Chains A and B, each alone.
Chain A
Amino acid sequence: MAIALKSTGPRQLKNTLAQWLITLGGISVLFTLVLIFLYLLYVIQPIFESAKIEPVGQFEISTTAPTIATGVDELKEIAFQINQDGIIDFYQLVKSPAYEKGALVLSENLLSGEAKLVDVIRSGVENKLLLDSEGNVQLVAAKFFSNFDSGTREIIPSIAYPLGKEFIDVDENKDVLSKLSFGMNEEKAVFVAFTQDKRLIKTSLIAEDDFTYDSAHEAIYQEIDFPVDHVDEILVTPDMGLAFVRSADQIFVYDLTDEDVVELKATIIPSLEQNSTKPQHVTSMALLSGSSSILIGNSVGKVSQWFEVATDNGRQFKNIRSFDVSETEAVTKIYTEQFRKSFYTLTPSGEMGVFYTTSEADLWRGQLTTGKTSAFSISPRADGLVIVEGDLIKIFSVENEHPEVTWSALWEEVWYEGYPEPKFIWQSTSGSDDFEGKFSLVPISFGTIKAAMYAMMFAVPIALSAAIYTAYFMTPGMRRKVKPTIELMEALPTVILGFLAGLWLAPIIENYLPAIAMLLVMLPLSVFLTAFAWHQLPKDMKNRIPETWAPIILVPVLLVAGGSAFLLSPFFETLFFGGDVRQYITNDLDIDFDQRNSLVVGLAMGFAVIPTIFSMAEDAIFSVPKHLTSGSLALGATQWQTLAKVVLLTASPGIFSAVMMGLGRAVGETMIVLMATGNTAILDWSIFQGMRTLAANIAVEMPESEVGSSHYRILFLAAFVLFIFTFIFNTFAELIRQRLREKYSSL
């Protein structure tokens, strides 16, 4: 009679179903880890992409005269062009309720009379200065308003005259101007111009109230001492602080901030710096956003960035970096974005390049036009280009999201505007729009390593010695009580450790600094003294108080030693340090002292990491087979010799993996560092200074960063770095442990 288990039926079905579900559940653990890895990569990946420029459309413009300038509104719905006759035409770029694509929305004549428009100078997003052939100067602003009357959004263009509809008297003598530039805000407008009778003048118009709604002003005329009689180009920074006046291959920099005198700040002669054989001439220049840097393009296809730097000989303009735009052609035009440090270059053949200065990124190269470009404009949000070629307006969409992130910007020293030399700096945001973001991960990675090092410095000796004693010398009864107590440390939330470190420990260390130093000496000393004293006890007392009670005996001893160190501290302070250790360190030793520093973090994080190292090291030492110990002792070695030369060596892989897990934990710790350091992103090994770690940086900055911005993705990159780091450590430690387990099963 055979009893056969049916291979089908509800029970077997349930069994198979259960097997599949459980297998799925098991694999899902692996799936979760992979998901985290992939998602982090997914968020990080866009920052390493280059720019993309795509043509969106083009249409004909009805114009009789050549175009001088063009522009587009913020939402890229209406573009305009200004032609030589002084007429400004607005064209609809997208279909709206009122107009078709390409329709002419508004046309206005900005000049009167027979004069031809010579030049359009831009400053800021809206303001345009018109200079005509009769020498008249007029300031117009192209404004765009959103209208929701029809239910959907419609952009309505209009022209405003911020300084009034009358022509502006830039020159006191009313001479014709050959070159002109300006800068303006609500209270002041500053013009720098070169007249036909070879004078370089500066004119300031001071608003009586506010230029946004009242164009009334008074004028101050000044003449500038100019050594040469010929000017090619003038640029005034938007904050009206500097004027760059180019004459042939020299650029004179004038300080415009003084109301009385215009001083020559510096003379930039680019060709002096380059040592090449070909003759070089300056062919173009442009101001980078932020009113500090100037970009100079030359005839051998290079663009260099210059800004003012404080050196030992005073402030000088230095050539900070160069960009190789073209091998063969000159750089005829440079256009800069309104708010970021990107710039676009054009050569005579129409080749265009897109670059970002701080990260030295080469973002895009290509040919969008044939070279006969009449006008070129970057949209205000830098997401589009409008190029006028002949009688065609061409619109392009630009995707250039993360130009400021490159390998060099993240990991190498970068020379930021206003700094005397290249440095590693993390300073992700500030209040102004044209701030140069500083995204070097080096200071915060350094902070992570520093915090982990100090923590391990405190944790490893204590944890390992405790593990050795608990696993090897302690009686089983005491071990049953001591082991869970020490492992209780692991359960304590790090928030509490952090707040105790920041609010309780840091002030104590600051006030009792001599005590901390004394503890280093007094604690081991008191242990040795107690050991020696016990050794000298008569034999019957030794039997009653065995050596295995050592930890219990040492508790009051250490408490007394510590307490006396703290009691003596004020006296030491007065005796050696003139009453105040902190002042002594700051003034006499010239070391900066922060209340929340690495010493506090080391102690607190060491406390948090001790249980991790302790449990694993203790397990490792405890599982060394007993017959090894017995054999060694039988051969005449002492307990300590056995421990040091046999047991520890055998357990060393386990101890090593314990230390690695501890290090992994120390690197990832967030709350303690957040609360116990000053969160200063500095590169300093000093024990009395704070630091900023990757984890704390993420916790502080993530809630406030714009989703999808470069800053946001760099924070994800920091998280990814942490993930990879702990992954490597933990996997390594686990592999060592698995091998150890196999090894011991054979012993």
Chain B
Amino acid sequence: MANNNEKSAIILAGMHKWYGDFHVLRDINLEVKKGEIIVVCGPSGSGKSTMIRCINRLEEHQRGQIFVDGIELTNDIKKIDEVRREVGMCFQHFNLFPHLTIMENCTLAPIWVRGIPKKEAEETAMHFLEKVKIPDQAFKYPGQLSGGQQQRVAIARSLCMKPRTILFDEPTSALDPEMIKEVLDVMIELAEEGMTMICVTHEMGFARKVADRVLFMDAGQIVEENTPAEFFDHPQNERTQLFLSQILH
């Protein structure tokens, strides 16, 4: 395991999770290399979100091991904080802080968690807001922005912590069709720049274009795992075939 840690951004090894008696994740094994783009799809309730939420310890796993950048996630709060500093996350419902301006949303964690001086943090924030193409909204509040803009701010907020990995939890599912593209464009740009990404999404166009691997999950297990071309054109598992026939029409 230790040798792999050098090249791997994330390793899940024999990971299990229960909600009470309910066995949500069953023997998850996954290794994500640095710079790799993984797309996770599957029916709702299959455990996709739960799996990526285990990677930054928003959920606790009960068996098996998780390594992020070589750090094993345990109950050790220091380790958890260390992992969270290096792993960004974007949520389905953005979860921007509504009482803070866009700029404050982006500079809060760099200032308080990384201890970066305010001015420098604001410069970094402006840089990333330009990257997601909304520098002109910097001094508005999240409530004044459209959904697509909010999600791009959420991406910029993650980027401001200069993470090595970003987890996306259905980033476009709560958006109007018109706004999905603007968010995906930002994600594609990030992917092309070599960010390690794990995306739970049903945007199959995005998966085909940038994913290195696509995972299909069902009933708490990884059912199939392949390159996008193979995954979409020659799905092996019956369950995957059914799922793809339903979402690709």
Q: Do A and B bind each other?
A: no
- Please report A residues at the B interface, Cβ cutoff 8 Å: none
